[in-house]
Chain A
Amino acid sequence: DAKTTQPPSMDCAEGRAANLPCNHSTISGNEYVYWYRQIHSQGPQYIIHGLKNNETNEMASLIITEDRKSSTLILPHATLRDTAVYYCRTHSGGSNYKLTFGKGTLLTVNP
């Protein structure tokens, strides 16, 4: 898995878009990018993943740069309930089953 780098914290105003960056410059060609979030004291929750193309679901959008060395998770209209720690990680299939997490970004959505 590629090493990921995320800012430790970010703020966002309620109703505005939250753009969370992640650097994964050593990512290999078959590694997916995954985003999870953890609302205080709860189990982490899967948000979205992608390989090369940008992805969108009901929760968020994932933008992956053309060289795949970084990505951005976009919450289009952040609400107070989106305050959480957001984790970016990469993983390929195959024989690497040791799924670890970095420290993530604490997103605080302010009223």
Chain B
Amino acid sequence: NAGVTQTPKFRILKIGQSMTLQCTQDMNHNYMYWYRQDPGMGLKLIYYSVGAGITDKGEVPNGYNVSRSTTEDFPLRLELAAPSQTSVYFCASSIQGTGANVLTFGAGSRLTVL
């Protein structure tokens, strides 16, 4: 049981390049989330998904796209990378029932755009 796995851990992009951050979970969680965290700042929600085929925007979705074709995977795509997207990206998942909703986070992907 690996929990939430993110790849890559580190990446340097040039302005205008595109890339996909991968996130996979093996806990059969139905909810998945992408957050970004700028240096010294808190977590900002980018996108979330409540199940395969269903995604929605969070607080800061501009410049990103997501898809959820399976329960396990929730990739985050950056199109036309900009220096403002330099950040640490965290993926999280949870299982939503009638009670509590506890998030399990991945270790993060550190992205630098130069």
Are A and B part of the same complex? yes
Chain A positions near chain B (C-beta within 8 angstroms): 32, 34, 36, 41-46, 49, 51, 87, 91, 93, 97-104
Chain B: CB-nearest residue to A103: B42
Number of interface residues of B (CB under 8 A): 31
Chain B, 20-42, contact with A by CB distance < 8 Å: what is the 0/1 string? Answer: 00000000000101010000011
Q: Which residue of chain A lies nearest to B43 when distances are taken between CB atoms in the complex?
A: A101
The answer to whether the Cβ of B53 comes within 8 Å of any Cβ in the partner chain is no
A87–B41 Cα distance when bound, in Å, is 12
Question: CB-CB < 8 A to B74: which residues of A?
Answer: none
Closest residue of chain A to B105 (Cβ to Cβ) is A43
Nearest CB of B to A37, in Å: 11
**Measured CA separation A91–B96 after assembly (Å):** 11
Find chain B residues with CB under 8 A from A98 CB.
45, 48, 56, 58
Name the CB-closest residue of A to B49. Answer: A97
* A43 pairs with B43, CB closer than 8 A: no
Given contacts A41-B88, A97-B50, A99-B48, contact A46 B102 (CB under 8 A): yes
